[in-house]
Amino acid sequence: MKQYGYFSDDRREYIITDPNTPRPWFNYLFNRIYHALLSHTGGGFSYYKDPKTNRILRYEHLHTDRSGRYLYVRDNNSGEYWSANWQPMRKPYESYKCTHGLGYSTISTQTSGIATDITYFVAHTDPVEFQIIKVKNNSNQTRTLSLFPFVEFVSGNIEMELVYRTIICLYNYADFDKDLNCIIARKEKYHHTQKDMGMSFFAVGGNISGFECNKDKFYGRYRDLQDPIMVQQGKLSSTDVQGEDMVGVFQKDVTLKPGEELEFYVALGYEIEHKKVKALLKKYSSLEAVAKELDKVKKYFLEAVERISVKTPNENFNTMTNIWGKYQLYAITCWRGTSQYHGGEGGLGYRDTAQDIEGLLSVQMDLAMEKLEKILYWQYSSGHAVSGFSYVEGSWDKDSDGLTMKSDVAVWLVYTVVSYIKETGDLDFLKKIYPFHDGGEATVYEHIVRAVRFLFRERGSHGLPYIRKCDWNDAYDHLGIRKQGESVWLAMALARACKQLVSLAQHIRDENIEKEMKEKYAVLIEIINKVGWDGKWYLAAYNDFGKKIGSKVDKEGNAPLNSQTWAILSSVVPDDRLPDILDQIDNYLDTAYGPALFLPAFTGFDETIGRVCSFAPGTKENAAVFSHACAFKIVADCEIGRAEKAIETFNKLCPMSPAKQDHDKYKVEPYVWAEYIIGPNNKYNFGEGTFTWNTGTTPWMFIAATEWILGARRDFGGLRIDPCIPADWKECSIKRPFRGATYEIEIKNPNGVNKGVKELIVDGVKIDGTLIKPHGDGKVHKVSVVMG
């Protein structure tokens, strides 16, 4: 089994030792206004605030992993030249290593006796990224070198660029700004709706002997970045650009004696105004200032991942919960709207953001609150919500009321707000007033009540909520195009929201809402079990013509996983039906990678169901092992005490699981969650991972690990201690902040049980029950738990 890297001893770095990985292995470097996606060879792209409208760099395709942030090196004595990143020239090297860390990546190579180290990172708060470059002569001869830091600009709307490739470039302007000693690349405004047309900037520390902005001249006729003529010739033309493709290239000429080293920095960023570019370049005008910023970034992310820490006998569990899964959660909460897999989309999905917030509440409250206020605004006054939104372009939905868009989005707001109240105890938040984006305003409490009332009101002939464009499964996109299709899964999700509102209303003593939500919940339970049950499992939906989706009478798409797990999460499944749905999950859907979304896969387009039928079998929502849905399953397992099954699925989902050790088969990064694994009905690629980083798996796996498996769970009255662990975990622990105090929770399991707390001691005092009332004193409290 081929492997391409390994974790450092502290698991905080992943070290790649062979650049020829089956797919580019990325790191996300980011702050709250700037995002750089960086592969292990320097490929990827960057953007400011929105990946579609404010794209800085071009990235052609995942399979070529080009373009990127490269350093070309030329030996001016021999005429030999190469790329220090390995890409894009891919010449033989003497050594190669890429280290992906928390907030930084370093690519280290040696070719022809010249060693280079390039450390990439994004500033803590500013819209700029840096490279700290070290070049050392490890040969026994004096070497005269030319160094060429390189980027390729878009500097504008990537969607327009992709569609109108030869037209949009006519708006391009790139030139060397002598006052700032940098290249400025921008697009001239070409439509009255465009606002805040900014500019990209590219600068290098120290002296330069030339620059280049003209892509055609840099590459040469019928050549590309794999063999640019100006690197071959060792001379840039110092040419500006008007109306042509733009690059940013500098030339630094240097002579290094044996053992001598040169260190300098490169800056790349985006700003709206020229004066702000000037201010940033002044702020970071020295190598010392840039190095200090790197230290600041490293410290920030180290502190961020240490806010919650766990210790169990399962190293993979610890790694994903303590470090990489948590870092991934920070990254996608900031930047959920794009990835290396679909770089032309902008903005943030509504349901995605809501779930990310819920995952982040316990570790980064200010970021969670920033996003929570956004999704409150992007709710309609009807109670429904937009499918997604962009900080630059606004709502994804083009219709006035959103009724033809995704059906489920508003239900996630309820879970997120309720989780916020449980995490903080801040009941005053429910009274705060926020506007709806289509006009009017209401308290937060009213926002979530309206969400439930909207979904309950908008139901079809079977009494189930309308599915409209789709529910959680985006690819069920033809079930409700005639506005008659209904979702069984959404009825369950709505029932769960009603149940949560019952608990919230009881907590704040609102008897009217408590009564209303209990009545709605009872209605939904009856309907789901009457029209949603198919004999051995729950259906997915009904289409516009009343046809059951996910039924045993169909040859394809049976036993939909989400409907089985959410029957548990919403507490709608009767005791006598529970064994049947567990049998489908455990014995029909399960694989070495986790349970499939349904089986068998669809094999051809059905216009009454949707594009789910057209995906290749086992890919995307067509019977893949969809990690997000598997995470739902883990929480459902814990709710009914199935600890062994919960950890079994957790282990299977881990990117470093035994089934994923063959990297040539699994292909993708072995240190972050993947959206899905290609499912068993695919003839060629079963077991291949794909769509890493940007996945709702991330918050749910973090919640599953910390709140359900280790059981340190937020509740209205305090911190609930309710572990659900494997019998062979005799000891484990979790450190968790909660309402102004920190709790160090040691769990002992001497009798090897899965669930149940025999004894709970806080600061040496035994307490009754499993609820720790908040201390809020800023202190560390020792908690001892004995299971039994």
Catalytically annotated residues: 474
Query: In angstroms, how far is CA 221 from the centroid of its own chain?
Result: 40
Instruction: Give the per-residue SS3 of 135-172.
Output: EEECCCCCEEEEEEEEEEEEEECHHHHHHCHHHHHHHE
Cα separation values, 355 from 14, 19, 324, 622, Å? 27, 34, 18, 23
Give the whole-angstrom CA distance, residue 642 versus residue 720.
18
Amino acid at residue number 87: Q
Write out the DSSP string of 549-573: ES-TTSSSSBS-HHHHHHHHHTT-S
The answer to whether the CB of 80 falls within 8 A of the CB of 420 is no
List Cα–Cα distances, 437 to 228, 352, 445, in angstroms: 50, 19, 17
The answer to whether the CB of 71 falls within 8 A of the CB of 83 is yes
Give DSSP secondary structure letters for 693-706.
Answer: SS-THHHHHHHIII
Burial of 343 (C-beta count, 10 Å sphere; 0-12/13-18/19+): buried
Residue 292 DSSP one-character state = H
* Residue 265 contacts residue 196 (beta carbons within 8 Å): no
d(CA 731, CA 753): 12
Q: Which amino acid is at 739?
A: R
Residue 636 has, within 13 A of its CA and on its CB side, a CA count of 28
Burial of 222: CB neighbours in 10 Å, binned 0-12, 13-18, 19+: exposed
| Plot region of 114 (φ>0 → left; ψ -120 to 50 → alpha; else → beta) | beta
Q: Are 116 and 84 in contact (CB under 8 A)?
A: yes
CB within 8 Å of 538: residues ≥ 6 apart: 488, 492, 528, 532, 550, 560, 563, 564, 567, 573, 581
Tell me how far apart the alpha carbons of residues 601 and 680 are, in angstroms, rounded to a whole number: 9
Contacts for 104-109: CB closer than 8 Å, 24+ residues apart: 104/29, 104/294, 104/297, 104/298, 105/27, 105/29, 105/38, 105/40, 107/40, 107/41, 107/42, 109/84, 109/85
Distance of CA 413 to the CA centre of its chain: 19
Distance CA 377, CA 657 (A): 40
> Distance of alpha carbon 771 from its chain centroid, rounded?
32
Residue 448 φ/ψ region, left for φ over 0, alpha for ψ in the -120 to 50 degree band, beta for the rest: alpha
3-state per-residue secondary structure call for 389-452:
EECCCEECCCCCCCCCCECCHHHHHHHHHHHHHHHHCCHHHHHCEEECCCCCEEEHHHHHHHHH
d(CA 599, CA 44): 35
Helix pair angle (488-508, 409-424), 10° resolution: 30
Helix intervals (H) in 509-552: 511-531
Pairing of strands 388-390, 348-349: antiparallel
Q: Hey, what are 718's tokens?
A: 């305090």
Contact at 8 Å (CB) between 565 and 629?
yes
**Residue in 301, 324, 304 with CA at minimum distance from that of residue 705:** 324
In whole angstroms, how far apart are CA 191 and each of 156, 188, 195, 196, 246?
A: 13, 9, 9, 12, 21
Beta bridge partners of 742: 737, 780
